[in-house]
Structure 1
Amino acid sequence: MSQKKQLIIPCLIFIALLLLAGCGAQQSASDRFQGYTKAWQKKDFGGMYALLSKSAKKAISKHDFVARYTKIYSGIEAGSLHTSVKPDKNKKTIVHFKGVLETAAGPVRFSESVPMIQEKHGKETNWYLKWNPSLILPGMQTGDTVSVATQPANRGEIFDRNGKPLAMNGNAARIDLVPGKLGTGAARDKTLKQVAQLLGTTTDSINQALNQGWVQADSLVPIKVISASDTSLIKKVTNLPGVYRTTIATRVYPDGKASGHLTGYVGQVTADILKAHPNAGYTANSMIGRTGLEQIYENKLRARDGAVIRILNKDGNEKKIVAQKAPKNGTDIHLTIDQKVQDTLYAQMKNDAGTAVALNPKTGDVLGLVSAPSYDPNAFVLGLSAADYQKLSENKMKPLMNRFTQASTPGSVFKALTAAIALDQKAIDPNQAIAIKGKRWQKDASWGNYYVTRLDSASKVNLASALYRSDNIYFAQTALKIGAAAFASDARKYGLGESIPFPYPMQRSTLSNDGKLGSDLLLANSGYGQGEVSVTPLEMSLIYSSFSNQGNMIQPRLLLTDAAPSYWKKQAMSAATAQLLNKDLTQVISNPAGTGHDAAITGIPLAGKTGTPEFKKKQGKSGRENGWFIAYNTKDPKLLVTILIENTQKHGGSHYVTPKVKNVFENLIK
């Protein structure tokens, strides 16, 4: 290669690099404005200010620019910003910008032609905005201010089937102190001590409130919110010098603890909730359903406040309405729940740990759902102290746990399902008397030291006597006659392994951990509701509804409706099987030898089944027991009640539960 060619090639490369460097350093006006909108979307007001022209920066300082955007956008609850930017076809110094800014009053729409200018800032020459206040809000000019007016909406309320409120909008009493009227010295200290004792707080926390920077001598300083119905307490505390009551709006739960787990409660939105619900219209001051029906039906119940954003001129007169959104009240919810039923169930449960379900087996209307012990949702709304919450969360009886959603071992109440499967599979003759020796039995030596045991010692039992005597051995043998595959397959006909089609989420009931019955021992134990069987009280109630519906499992309902009842599982068992078992289950209560005989009520024929699942670390040793009892009236069936109480081993197992169910029927039907 000649020396001349060697010189030309490096020169061409050098020129090309200069051209590339120049292109890379110089953005177009629209590209530059895109950078501005990206900072805007992040609310990086300082980054936005950096892209302003020199003349714009002379008109407004960085401090004022950032402060103004921050104040206005906070006030209008500015959310996401969606933008589009296009260069002008004829003038490269003009950028056309369109944007939609979400606010408390709805979307604010921008459509601006923004002049750009090339300037040298430091060592760099680039495009900068000739900014004006219309890029805060459309139509805004220097000297204008922004007004935001909120138009509150009402949250939907929750009613029982008879129109009684379970969650409603009401008032509470806020107890306030006026520092200048508390007196001085020992008199003041005495008043604060009395206030603390009456309100269940401390003088330290009261003094902390009084020592806030904004507090003046005539300020109303909020101390605690209490129930407006606690008139005695309100009178005592407001009789003290410097203590006043302010009425404030709040959510009220008239049924208190009885419906605490059912209704749940509302609470202020947290940072985590806001993060989980972006662009949903919630703000740091919003209330949201935190648990129970308040959470499940949040989208229906939720109040969506209205708002108006106005631009005012320097004289304070309205210049323009930038955005406006009408308030939208939440939708009321009417439940199938009957407060009288709910309260009757809770009265039987409140001193124990357990759960109860009541439903109409013919319509599927759920009349009561109780978890005990419970909590008062009003306490959460009014403001539960950290100490009180700690007491609830550390309580060994777990009052914060919602038990009616949980699946657990059903024990002998499951025998009715085993009997139904066996009859439909023709695995047993219900009239055949089976000889059983003694109180324990095992299939063969492969079971080692494990035996199925029973409390009764009848030498021969048929299906009816096995049900009313609750014979574990009979049903263990019956399960083996059915066979693992048929038992598992037919159990699915009753919804085991499925989610119940019900608005209130429930755990899935299961026959076993893997849905199969992999051993004879597991199969035998499953026959009488032990092994790995786990069922919710609601699903057990739905299974028992089959006996009132010719073998069809009713579809449960929680929302009040005029629609005709429907079935969740059609012909889960045959009509003949349902009729036979309905007759046999009446003997559990009517027969003097029946395990549920102490629930018999003159004039109200009942059918049902007891159950006492055991949780023992070793067979033959004492251990924890739960007590179940399911009962329904057989004449014009309209009430089916399931009660489960934990830790009944020292109270007679299911015999601790049968009188409670009896009391429910006597109070509600007789």
Structure 2
Amino acid sequence: MYQATLKDYLRESRLFRARAITATLIILLLLLLLILHLAKLQIIDHAHFTTLSRDNRVKVEPLPPTRGLIYDRNGVILAQNLPTHSLEITPERVKDLDWTLQELGKLISISDNDRKRFNRLKSHQRRFESIPIRVQLSDEEVARFAVNRHLFPGVDIQAKLLRDYPLKDVTAHILGYVGRINKRELQTIDNSSYSGTTHIGKNGIEKYYEETLHGKVGLQQVEINALGRVIRILESKPPEPGADLHLTLDSALQRVAIESFGEESGAAVAIDPQTGDILAMVSKPGFDPNLFVEGISSADYNALQTSEEKPLFNRAIRGQYPPGSTIKPFIGLGGLESGVITATRKNYCPGFFQLPNHSHKYRDWKKAGHGAVDLYDAIAQSCDVYYYDLAQQMGIDKLAEYLAPFGFGEKTGVDITGELGGLLPAREWKRRSKNQPWYPGETLITGIGQGYFLTTPLQLASATATLASGGSRLQPRIVKSIRRNGEPDPREQPVSQQQQIARQSESHWDSIVEAMIQVTEGVRGTARLIRNEHYRIAGKTGTAQVFTIKQEEKYEEEKLEKKMRDHALFIAFAPADAPRIAVAVIVENGGHGGSVAAPIAKAIMDRYLLQDTR
């Protein structure tokens, strides 16, 4: 039998009321928490979130400074900044980089080298920094991309200044070049000073004077939209441009020096003896530094690196060669000053020299010998036997003592990177470096500038300038003056004297100069072919052996490969009575200093003394 169940309406009403109250309390609690959180956001954290909000629309951008310019002594520009456009990609804002590169290639030519450079830069730059995929775009390419820019988020055209070297190989080894900052340099530079800067000096003057040329970075606050494009500039602190450098270099003289080498390789340095100013500094062959500014291609770099002519090698400051007979005036002066010889005392040259109780013959370049010669004849005719005897009498210690003040064996301190110091051999040096004793025969060959003796063309030119000035050794310099931002005139760099060589007798120095004049004016002078009627030249020829000839062998130049022939050297200063220029020339594998190197020196001196455009 069915029995109906009655509902307890009172109980259900109480249960509903309790649930409603609980739900209301929970809602009120949650609402209170929400209100408290909103109050925290709006009141307590107001300043913090206001800053974050502003940062979403305001961006601080660095303003890279304009790099300083470089001029020669006559105002000819050697390094400048040219306006250009580059196509740049910001990886962080590109979703599909491969697709982007593929489509960009349909609009603008992008080579494999461009892609390799882009990938190399991408590997060590931060993702939010823009990276160039193409540089030096034409006006047509800029316009073509501008029409299609909306298709490529994260890609944009950037206007910039690109370093340019108008004289190319003429000044390459002196100026060096700038290049993109690499990973190693990022670890050493001050990041705040280089914010927004992509390039830095790699070698030469560009590196030595990097801090001066670079300038100081500026800043600007810009308002940007959701796409990251700048709407307006809010605040700006302009950058401070780098200083301009005015060099001692005469670019016209530099070009004459290079052209004078013809097809030969070598180096030449010309210095003003009164100031230490480097008037010309040539390393032949050279290269085009513009290739390195935005990243040289692998093919071009390999061609430079593997070339037998070594165009990247700066022979003027890094080439270390035996000075050969160009050292004889300095050793002759040491002999006079030390009282070992007199200028007029004659020695007999039979064509060879032998040490007491030794059978080995140290041969003269002239097989039949020079006969009776004094100091004047020995320098004018470059008699080796005279100097074998003089070197033996002086000994290696005294030789080194008299040569060192001229700067042999140490860096000149020139304001350029990469200089080497050469080698002035001495007893202590050999014991320390080779753990061997010094032998008498080594003293003899040092006396004619062979053996361990090594010098750079710059050292040789500096020593020649010191001789020309009567013993005042000035530090060679390339930068003559610096003009900083806001200064109306360039500020002259001081002339720095490194040493004043003590002189025992004025006549000794005069004797050496007269002997060097006989080199170019004497009937049997080894450089008599460059004698001229306009000014007198005091010079000295030299030959540096590339390999050692055995006792009974004969040197036959015409049968040797070019690279095995002797180096040709020549040093000179002029006018001899009031020197204004000192020159050192080395022609690699050139053979004879008088016929090969001396004419190059004369061409340089002619240009400077007879066609002076300063």
- What CA distance in whole angstroms lies between the structure 2 residues aligned with 1:249 and 1:347? 32
The one-letter amino acid paired with 2:542 is G
Q: Which residue of 2 aligns with 1:362?
A: 274
- What CA distance in whole angstroms lies between the structure 2 residues aligned with 1:146 and 1:268? 28
Does residue 1:432 correspond to 2:345, yes or no? yes
The one-letter amino acid paired with 1:661 is A
Does residue 1:331 correspond to 2:262, yes or no? no
Q: Which residue of 2 aligns with 1:648?
A: 590
Q: Which residue of 2 aligns with 1:571?
A: 501
Q: Which residue of 1 aligns with 2:519?
A: 588
Q: Deviations over 1:399-443 (max 9, x none)?
A: 011111123211010111111111110111210111121x22221
Q: Deviations over 1:55-89 (max 9, x none)?
A: 9xxx9xxxxxxxxxxxxxxxxxxxxxxxxxxxxxx
Q: Which residue of 2 aligns with 1:545?
A: 465
Check conservation: 1:356, 1:643, Cα contact below 8 A.
yes
Check conservation: 1:133, 1:141, Cα contact below 8 A.
no
- What CA distance in whole angstroms lies between the structure 1 residues aligned with 2:593 and 2:386? 20
- What CA distance in whole angstroms lies between the structure 2 residues aligned with 1:608 and 1:208? 52
Inter-CA distance 532–174: structure 2 relative to 1 (3 Å threshold): same
Check conservation: 2:412, 2:421, Cα contact below 8 A.
yes
Q: Deviations over 1:507-552 (max 9, x none)?
A: 1132117546922111111111111111122222222223432333
Q: Which residue of 1 aligns with 2:603?
A: 663
Query: Which residue of 369, 376, 381 maps to 2:293?
Result: 381
Query: Which residue of 563, 581, 598 maps to 1:639?
Result: 581
Q: Deviations over 1:554-578 (max 9, x none)?
A: 3323222557755322125443322
Identity of aligned residues (%): 26
Does residue 1:343 correspond to 2:265, yes or no? no
Q: Which residue of 1 aligns with 2:29?
A: none
Q: When the two structures are superposed, what TM-score results if normalisation uses the length of structure 1?
A: 0.66
Matched residue SS, 1:510? coil
Q: Which residue of 1 aligns with 2:4?
A: none
Q: Deviations over 1:188-225 (max 9, x none)?
A: xxxx99x98xxxx96x6689999xxxxxxxxxx96563
The one-letter amino acid paired with 2:546 is F
Q: Which residue of 2 aligns with 1:397?
A: 309
Q: Which residue of 1 aligns with 2:537?
A: 606
Inter-CA distance 207–299: structure 2 relative to 1 (3 Å threshold): closer
Matched residue SS, 2:136? strand
Does residue 1:501 correspond to 2:441, yes or no? no
Query: Which residue of 611, 621, 630 maps to 2:571?
Result: 630
Inter-CA distance 350–154: structure 2 relative to 1 (3 Å threshold): farther
Inter-CA distance 161–605: structure 2 relative to 1 (3 Å threshold): same
Query: Which residue of 350, 355, 375 maps to 1:443?
Result: 355
Q: Post-superposition shift, 1:381? A: 1.8
Does residue 1:452 correspond to 2:363, yes or no? yes
Matched residue SS, 2:296? coil
The one-letter amino acid paired with 1:644 is I
Q: Which residue of 2 aligns with 1:165?
A: 77
Check conservation: 2:64, 2:194, Cα contact below 8 A.
no
Inter-CA distance 329–175: structure 2 relative to 1 (3 Å threshold): closer
What are the within-5 Å matches in structure 2 for residues 72-91 of structure 1?
A: none
- What CA distance in whole angstroms lies between the structure 2 residues aligned with 1:658 and 1:158? 31
- What CA distance in whole angstroms lies between the structure 1 residues aligned with 2:216 and 2:493? 30
What are the within-5 Å matches in structure 2 for residues 50-199 of structure 1?
A: 139-141=51-53, 144-172=56-84
Q: Which residue of 2 aligns with 1:470?
A: 382
Matched residue SS, 1:266? strand
Inter-CA distance 628–175: structure 2 relative to 1 (3 Å threshold): farther
Q: Post-superposition shift, 1:501? A: 3.1
Check conservation: 1:497, 1:515, Cα contact below 8 A.
no
Inter-CA distance 147–584: structure 2 relative to 1 (3 Å threshold): same
- What CA distance in whole angstroms lies between the structure 2 residues aligned with 1:410 and 1:207? 48
Inter-CA distance 490–383: structure 2 relative to 1 (3 Å threshold): same
Q: Deviations over 1:227-247 (max 9, x none)?
A: xxxxxxx89x99xx9999998
Deviates more, 1:343-352 or 1:276-285: 276-285
Check conservation: 1:551, 1:578, Cα contact below 8 A.
no
- What CA distance in whole angstroms lies between the structure 2 residues aligned with 1:527 and 1:390? 41
Q: Post-superposition shift, 1:260? A: 0.3
Q: Deviations over 1:23-49 (max 9, x none)?
A: xxxxxxxxxxxxxxxxxxxxxxxxxxx
Check conservation: 2:473, 2:499, Cα contact below 8 A.
yes
- What CA distance in whole angstroms lies between the structure 2 residues aligned with 1:281 and 1:572? 47
Check conservation: 1:497, 1:511, Cα contact below 8 A.
yes
Inter-CA distance 526–209: structure 2 relative to 1 (3 Å threshold): closer
Matched residue SS, 2:479? coil
- What CA distance in whole angstroms lies between the structure 1 residues aligned with 2:503 and 2:584? 20
Inter-CA distance 458–393: structure 2 relative to 1 (3 Å threshold): same
Q: Post-superposition shift, 1:132? A: 6.8
Q: Which residue of 2 aligns with 1:37?
A: none
Deviates more, 1:632-641 or 1:508-517: 508-517
Matched residue SS, 1:267? strand
Query: Which residue of 439, 442, 460 maps to 1:519?
Result: 439
Matched residue SS, 1:328? coil
Check conservation: 1:421, 1:573, Cα contact below 8 A.
no
- What CA distance in whole angstroms lies between the structure 1 residues aligned with 2:309 and 2:385? 33
Q: Post-superposition shift, 1:278? A: 4.8
- What CA distance in whole angstroms lies between the structure 1 residues aligned with 2:293 and 2:194? 18
- What CA distance in whole angstroms lies between the structure 1 residues aligned with 2:362 and 2:61? 75
Q: Post-superposition shift, 1:269? A: 0.4
Query: Which residue of 144, 162, 166 maps to 1:254?
Result: 166
Which structure has more relative contact order (CA 8 Å, sep 6+)? It is 2
Q: Post-superposition shift, 1:635? A: 4.2
Q: When the two structures are superposed, what TM-score results if normalisation uses the length of structure 2?
A: 0.72
Q: Post-superposition shift, 1:662? A: 1.9
- What CA distance in whole angstroms lies between the structure 2 residues aligned with 1:275 and 1:175? 27
Matched residue SS, 2:339? coil
Inter-CA distance 582–617: structure 2 relative to 1 (3 Å threshold): closer
Inter-CA distance 279–171: structure 2 relative to 1 (3 Å threshold): closer
- What CA distance in whole angstroms lies between the structure 2 residues aligned with 1:610 and 1:548? 16
Q: Deviations over 1:142-167 (max 9, x none)?
A: 88433224434211111111221111
Query: Which residue of 287, 298, 301 maps to 2:210?
Result: 298
